[in-house]
Amino acid sequence: MLKYVLLGFLNYRSLTGYELKQAINRSTIHFWHAELSQIYVTLKALENEGCVTSKIQPQAERPDRRVYTITRSGRAALAQWLAQPITELGTKKELLLLKLFFSAQLDKDVLLAQLRVQRDLHQQRYHLIQNEMATEIQQSAEEYPQLVKDAVLWEATRRLGELHEEAYLHWLDETIALVQKKL
Amino acid sequence: MLKYVLLGFLNYRSLTGYELKQAINRSTIHFWHAELSQIYVTLKALENEGCVTSKIQPQAERPDRRVYTITRSGRAALAQWLAQPITELGTKKELLLLKLFFSAQLDKDVLLAQLRVQRDLHQQRYHLIQNEMATEIQQSAEEYPQLVKDAVLWEATRRLGELHEEAYLHWLDETIALVQKKL
DNA sequence: CGCACCATGTAATGCGTTACATGATTTT
DNA sequence: AAAATCATGTAACGCATTACATGGTGCG
């Protein structure tokens, strides 16, 4: 899938691997991520498939950059993938739930500490989604008026992140209280 | 991590690979899953590490089964893992959000169809979590009174699944309306 | 008669993470 | 002086998915 993430961003404009990583971190990070090393590998694969082309851009006082550009064939591949229906639900892997599931014999205070750390982390992410990410999207929409439709959808993905974090925080409070009472 | 899922279940009682797959499907499926083939591979690895032992149980009129039993060393590994704090948030991969993010140029009706299929799928999962899974947990708690504490935590993991699906369904309705209006 | 269930495994492939390797510039 | 940012890659390792392989029993 990383292929399509990269094609998606390159469809807006030409970018380097490094910039693609930044684009991901600013926008899709809460539902799709990738390591830089994997991005470079995948870009090379996309080039072999003819979905992108690359040119070295020499820079003074900075390392040279390899700028990737989407091809017609790359746009076609992206469009084809977008139109393809998803027929199954995605499978999640939630480490916290896994540990919690088997934690009945674990020391109660260790478990509570675990849950409180998670509460902090999720609170932080919640604020990030509500503030930094929301303004980021608004700014893009104002800066590039041709992307209003895109911005509507970006906002929708942000909104699910917000709702999920709200649910998660609510659940953590519920669960901390539950563990205190019943364990 | 699959190692610990298997150890977690084997800590309750000895099981075969096939039964472990069933246990996962009945309980942790919405936050952790695994293919049978991977379970068999991982069980073999656990045996090499001394975390489990296995015995062939011959069966008449059924294929022989290999029953796995957790060792003292396996219990220790499990306990050690459970006590270990999680310091980072898990990273999700949500295919639907990824497609949605890049779908501004996609045909509106194709996108709406995509979202409606998802609504059906999530509705189904929501009911599964609320009904089958809830009763499954209650039954286990009644059947094995020594597992009341465990059942409290199982129920907690189920509850997050429920809350997440509620949020997801809410969001899908929101988003379908949004796409109809603004795209 | 065909499908689902019981039951276990191997092999190939793909994808992702972590570590390694390099090195200048800018910010704190 | 140290840390972060810019910038690109290779290599090893681990884990997961998919396909392949086998074969009996029970049910509709």
Mean pLDDT of A137-147: 88
pLDDT of residue A64: 80
Q: Name the pLDDT band for A125 (thresholds 50, 70, 90).
A: very high
Percent of chain B at pLDDT > 70 equals 99
Nearest in space to A146 (alpha carbons), one of A15, A12, A4, A5: A12
pLDDT of residue A60: 66
How far apart are the C-alpha atoms of B148 and B154, rounded to whole Å?
Answer: 10
| A177 touching chain B per CB within 8 A | no
pLDDT in tens, A20-65: 999 999 999 999 999 999 999 999 999 999 999 999 987 766 778 9
Count of pairs with CB atoms under 8 A, one residue in A, one in B: 196
Percent of chain B at pLDDT > 90 equals 85
pLDDT in tens, B72-113: 999 999 999 999 999 888 888 999 999 999 999 999 999 999
DSSP letters of B19-55?
A: HHHHHHHHHTTTT----HHHHHHHHHHHHHTTSEEEE
Nucleotide with C1' nearest the A1 CA: C15
- What are the residues whose beta carbons fall under 8 Å from the beta carbon of B66, sequence distance 6 or more? B16, B17, B54, B55, B56, B57
Please, which residues 77-106 of chain A have a Cβ atom closer than 8 Å to chain B?
78-79, 81-83, 85-106
Instruction: Give the CA B71 to C1' C8 distance in Å.
Output: 22
Mean pLDDT of B160-177: 97
pLDDT of residue B140: 86
Answer yes or no: pTM beyond 0.75.
Answer: yes
Please, which residues 120-159 of chain A have a Cβ atom closer than 8 Å to chain B?
121-122, 125, 147, 149-150, 152-154, 156-157, 159
Q: Say yes or no: Cβ of B77 under 7 A from any atom of strand D.
A: no
pLDDT of residue A5: 96
Nearest in space to A51 (alpha carbons), one of A78, A68, A71, A80: A71
Instruction: Give the CA A64 to C1' C28 distance in Å.
Output: 26
Using a 10 angstrom Cβ sphere, with 0-12 exposed, 13-18 middle and 19 or more buried, the burial of residue A142 is exposed
How far apart are the C-alpha atoms of A168 and B114, rounded to whole Å?
Answer: 26
User: Which of A31, A33, A181 to mutate to test binding with chain B, by most B CBs within 10 Å of its CB?
Assistant: A31
How far apart are the C-alpha atoms of A84 and A63, rounded to whole Å?
Answer: 39
